[in-house]
Amino acid sequence: MTFDYTNRYTSTRLPVFARNVVATSHPLAAQAGLRMLERGGNAVDAAVAGAAVMTICEPVSNGLGSDAFCILWDGQQLHGLNAAGRAPQGWSQSYFRKKYGSDAATPPKRGFDSVTVPGAVAGWAALSRRFGKLPFADLMQPAIEIAERGYLVPVVVRQKWAAATPELQSLPGFAECFLPWGRAPQVGELFRFPAAARGLRAIAESGGDAFYQGEIAQAIVAMSAHHGGALTAADFAGFQPEWVTPISQNYRGYALHEIPPSGQGMAALIALGILEQFDMAALPVDGVDSQHVQIEAMKLAFADVYRYVAEPSSMAVTPAQMLDAGYLKSRAKLIDMNRAQDFGAGNPAKGGTIYLTAADESGMMVSFIQSNYMGFGSGCVEPAYGISLQNRGVGFSLQDDSPNVVEPGKRPFHTIIPAFLTKDGQPVMSFGVMGANMQPQGHVQALVRMLDYGQNPQTACDAPRWRFNQGLSINAESTMNAAAVQGLVERGHRTELINDSYQDFGAGQFIWRVGDPTVEGYVAASDARRDGVAAGF
């Protein structure tokens, strides 16, 4: 691929070229990863160290009580890691209906009844044991130091911190840990998190075991019980992350790889399979036709994903059936280039998140994502160890006919998805785009820009995005081509222009392999919609 390195969009970023590189949404996390690489570590060491720092520096999006996923190239092949937590054994439909009424459609959005067993720490440990070079405890040291000494709160993080405070300030442990002044911090104000330093130190010394079988697990379980939650010591002790084989979809001679269900990565694969039926390169890159067909493909993808995707054992169809070439071709025929549609699911049986990526000169590439979800997750924070807990339980349904109906020990439908691109079985790009259901939409829009239009990773990051919501409703960034926006409206898209790019359009990190990692290395990009950076040497 020969990229166009001109940039027609307003940007505060430039592509970064290096043989060892880390791209994250906070500079201190990128620097932590580079420290590991400079000490002789590899891309996995860099990613784990960066992920630990992100729990401190961007607590609005993730914490020590996050879930996580990873796709990595070890130099020979791809590996996938699913570190999503499972439901407590005490959860069932009757559990929630007794507490919240028979009309409740899902578990609550906040509080301990939204918390599944957090998987991120187990994911860090599993990655380090299998692929890391440095001692696990060393990977935690940058985060421990930052938590103890503090850091100056950046612009975007502060904005979201303040926005979440009114809803969350009364939840257990939140004000104690995240509102030390009785309010959200100001930009440039020093925030220290000594409780999280204590938690990280226990995680470091135990190789993560303290979180699942030691003092941290005991503290979370006790707090859950005090506030009416169902988490038990057995729920924590029984948790293990799962190594999985990524699933893929071919597009323009490349293959996009995603983690298999219960995540929404299927949506990106389905949409690309549909777009493969169109000559996208013949359509102007920022014109209405290109945007319209991408939006419609994304709608078709979500219709099937929301109907069918769940834990594999609960799915009525298989991923292979959902990605069947004949089926996707039939779905593509439903797209009308002249009008927006509200699609239903087909029948394939007939046929708040942070993302970071790291690569080293040995050729190892890591695509890693972790999240608390919805901005600070459950809002519950164990105060002795600084464990900010996710709220992934809200991804369950309480409806009998849903494949995501809540059951003991089951994983919920999950939104966070790392991505990886290969060509002819060889690594090309580790990347991801943060932001709930924006993630597969961001994957698709970025890949179309790069593979169909030759835009380089930073330009593809900077380009204006749209976001499908539901029905005919979409959001579009206010910087999108005005003629394209008007054209979408005329075709029936209920379009709202949005200025807050962080909230609605996600943020990406990209590392593209230029050639031999020991010679040409990589080109990396970091999205200006957050406070991050791509850095390397």
Which residues are designated catalytic? Answer: 353
Report the alpha-carbon distance of residue 434 to residue 371 in Å, rounded.
9
- DSSP, collapsed to helix, strand or coil, labels residue 427 as strand
- CA proximity to 263, closest of 320, 309, 314, 316: 309
Beta-carbon contacts of 408 under 8 Å, excluding residues fewer than 6 positions away, are 87, 88, 89, 90, 91, 92
Residue 329 in tokens: 């071709």
CB of 494 closer than 8 Å to CB of 466: no
Are 168 and 174 in contact by the 8 Å Cβ rule? The answer is: yes
State how far the Cα of 1 lies from the Cα of 164, in Å rounded to an integer: 42
Closest C-alpha to 56, from 185, 236, 224, 220: 185
**DSSP-based helix, strand, coil % in the chain, nearest 5:** 40, 20, 40
* Pairwise CA distance, residues 477 & 357, whole Å: 25
Secondary structure element (H or E) that encloses residue 199, with its range = helix 194-206
Longest dimension (CA), the chain: 62
